[in-house]
Amino acid sequence: MLQEFRVSFFLAYEYLTRGNKGISLFTIFLLTLVFLQLVFFSAILGGVTEKFDSQIIDYQTGNIIIEPKENEEYIEDYDGLLRKINAYPEVIGITARTKGAGKIEYEDREVGATILGIDPDDETTVTKIDSAIVEGDFISKLDRGEIIMGRELSGGYGALMETRSLGGLEVGDTVTMTIGPAQKDFRVKGIYTTFFFLSDSSAYINKADMDEMLGIENRAHEINIKLEPGVDEEEFRTTLQGTGINEKIMVWTEFTGIIEMITSTLSKIRDILNIIGLLVTFVIIFVVIYVNIINRRKQIGVQKAIGIDRNVIIGSFVLQAAFYAFCDIMAGFILMQYGITPATKAHPLWFPVGFVTLQVSNNEALFRGLLLFSAAIIASFIPTRRLVDKDLLELIWGG
């Protein structure tokens, strides 16, 4: 077996060194592009998914969300719960919110919206809404009768649903908010954009204003917690549950239904492109090896005539394909890891959800490489075996 491999290796080496080097280089170039296509879309999907995740954590939920007990509308006397949770070293921020589904009117337009009542100082320890202000300022703890809203409500600033917005109102304008039977005028203090349509479809007011409109005191609809980077969210939830907290405790991933739908769709598109890429690899290798063996059919016939085993001949062409695949995988991996990916970190790609950098793991790249390598081996084996199995005279005389 070892001797046969050595002979196959020798024949493959001779074919590659004495053959047309331009064709070999062009084949490697094409296969490198195919490999990059296989890895690149996965890297984009990884980057977009990570962006979605960070948008939800940074601008909507934090890492952990506590909601009222079953069949309860509010978390009662939440101040003590805030102090209890904030004592954990893993917690870097905590905030209590009240929420209302209502409508906001401006001149002759009105939009439905989720309005959140917040403690501005606490909110900035959990989310980054304050850093997303594009006009005006974030509300302060002392502000009453003022509101900030996302671009999907205000209009302008590249809003995706401009026709369903308030038509481009500006800081200083006055809007009328209605939640249930309560109605109140608010001055627009700021407009923000996170480039994430879910976050940009909300509005924020001081919790004192929201509590007044809802007719409540010392109650909250939810408590949001921001954890230190790297803290296991599931473990922290288990820790909180073990302290006797009876409220519903959830991690942020339980709020990602629409995101899972989007990423699932992108994954299916990725899988389709992967199949197309593998088919392209199969065709390229098949054609290159087929042309090569057709040009060498007499040589193959002579090799058979002098007693070289058919498996040795087949192995020599399979080794050629393996060489092409190995070279393109290495070239593509180097380009991706040390060229394209660092370039996107220095100059992120712009997507509607914000700036995205490519995220590709070595395991993912290895898996794509193995798929391409397997396609190359199969594509080389099929035409070689079919030709080698032909009659000796037919090979030599081309009958």
Tens-place pLDDT, residues 314-324:
778 788 888 88
Average pLDDT over residues 235-243: 90
Whether the per-residue pLDDT at 223 is higher than 70: the answer is: yes
Q: Which residue has the higher pLDDT, 348 or 216?
A: 216
What pLDDT score was predicted for residue 203? 93
Q: How many residues does the chain have?
A: 399
What pLDDT score was predicted for residue 1? 65
d(CA 201, CA 279): 43
Whether the per-residue pLDDT at 262 is higher than 70: the answer is: yes
**Banded pLDDT at 282 (limits 50, 70, 90):** confident
Q: Which residue has the higher pLDDT, 101 or 390?
A: 101
**Banded pLDDT at 5 (limits 50, 70, 90):** low
**Helix and strand totals (H; E) in the chain:** 13, 14
Whether the per-residue pLDDT at 90 is higher than 80: the answer is: yes
Tell me the residue ranges of DSSP E strands in 228-367.
Answer: 248-251, 349-351, 354-356
Average pLDDT over residues 366-388: 81
Q: What share of the chain is helix, strand, coil (3-state, %, to 5)?
A: 55, 20, 25
What pLDDT score was predicted for residue 66? 92
Strand 182-192 and strand 222-227: the pairing is: unpaired
**Banded pLDDT at 396 (limits 50, 70, 90):** low
d(CA 11, CA 315): 9
Whether the per-residue pLDDT at 328 is higher than 70: the answer is: yes
What pLDDT score was predicted for residue 326? 87
Site of tokens 């500006």: 170
Whether the per-residue pLDDT at 186 is higher than 90: the answer is: yes
Q: Considering only CA atoms, which of 230, 193, 188 is closest in space to residue 59?
A: 193
The token pair at 241 is 């549950």
The token pair at 156 is 């302008």
Distances 148 to 80, 117, 186, 211, 218 between C-alpha atoms, Å:
28, 11, 9, 17, 23
**Banded pLDDT at 10 (limits 50, 70, 90):** low
pLDDT per residue as tens digits for the range 93-109: 999 999 988 899 988 88
Average pLDDT over residues 190-218: 90
Taking residue 232's Cβ as centre, other Cβ atoms within 10 Å add up to 12
The four Cα atoms 273, 279, 284, 287 give a dihedral, to 10 degrees, of -160
d(CA 61, CA 67): 12
| Average pLDDT over the chain, rounded to an integer | 83
d(CA 36, CA 368): 9
Site of tokens 């005389």: 397
Residue 218 backbone zone (phi > 0: left; psi -120 to 50: alpha; other: beta): left
Residue 16: strand, helix, or coil: helix
What pLDDT score was predicted for residue 11? 66
**Banded pLDDT at 392 (limits 50, 70, 90):** low
Backbone angles phi, psi at 82, to 5 degrees: -65, -45
Site of tokens 């032909």: 390
**Banded pLDDT at 363 (limits 50, 70, 90):** confident
Backbone angles phi, psi at 148, to 5 degrees: -120, 145
d(CA 348, CA 36): 18
Average pLDDT over residues 61-83: 89
Whether the per-residue pLDDT at 279 is higher than 90: the answer is: no
- Quick check: pTM over 0.85? no
Strand partners, 148: 190, 204
The token pair at 372 is 């391409």
Task: Name the range with the highest mean pLDDT among 114-118, 259-263, 352-356.
Answer: 114-118
